[in-house]
Structure 1
Amino acid sequence: MIIEKAYFVIHEGLETEFEKAFSEAVELIAATNGYQHYTLTKSIEAERKYMIFIEWDSLAAHTEGFMNSQRFEQFTKKMDPYLEHVEMEHLVQIHSDK
């Protein structure tokens, strides 16, 4: 399993609209083979900052299965109006009590 971590800064005043649009658009991610689970979080200190953690079976499930698909293009098109800044990386879990 790998974890995709994406950090978003949302255009000011669009936080509620982003959350609604994301809850609909995430179905495009969930329809991808190798997708396991996601968690969307919002900063307490900076209301425009969000972080999503998506668990995938493998790196290829994300980079080849999703990012090279029409679903990725559709997801990006739905999210672009809200995003001021995006950073993404892939992580491997070392320890967890879950």
Structure 2
Amino acid sequence: MIREIAAITIDPARAAEFEAAVAAARPHFEAARGFVSFALERSIERPECYRLVVGWESVEAHMVDFRGSGGFQAWRDLASPFFVGPVAVEHLARVI
């Protein structure tokens, strides 16, 4: 399993709306081929900063299967109006 970590910055005054949009998008992730897990985390020190943490069976499950799906477009349609900058995405593999 790998984890996709997406660093997202929003206007903190819109946090409740953003969190509702991500909750509405969650089923699109869950329906995706290779999906494993899903979490949205918010920084305590910087409340405008979130991390979307999605577990995938492989990088390809995320980058090819999900990103090529209608579910990805639905996620972007729901969440992107809240982004105040580019989203930085990286993939992590547990080593220990």
Give TM class, smaller chain: over 0.9
Structure 1 residue matching 2:45: 3-state secondary structure: coil
Where has structure 1 moved over 3 Å in runs of 4 or more?
none
Structure 2 residue matching 1:45: 3-state secondary structure: coil
Structure 2 residue matching 1:46: 3-state secondary structure: coil
What is aligned with 1:88?
89
TM-score of the two chains, using structure 2 as the length reference = 0.93
> Which whole-Å CA distance do the structure 2 matches of 1:19 and 1:68 have between them?
24
Structure 1 residue matching 2:13: 3-state secondary structure: coil
Q: Does 1:42 align with 2:42?
A: yes
Q: Which amino acid aligns with 2:72?
A: F
* Structure 1, unpaired ranges of 5+: none
> Which whole-Å CA distance do the structure 2 matches of 1:91 and 1:76 have between them?
22
> Which whole-Å CA distance do the structure 1 matches of 2:18 and 2:88 have between them?
17
Within 5 Å, give how 1:49-68 maps onto structure 2.
49-68=49-68
RMSD: 1.0
The aligned length equals 95
> Which whole-Å CA distance do the structure 2 matches of 1:77 and 1:24 have between them?
11
Give the % identical residues: 31
Q: Does 1:32 align with 2:32?
A: yes
What is aligned with 1:8?
8
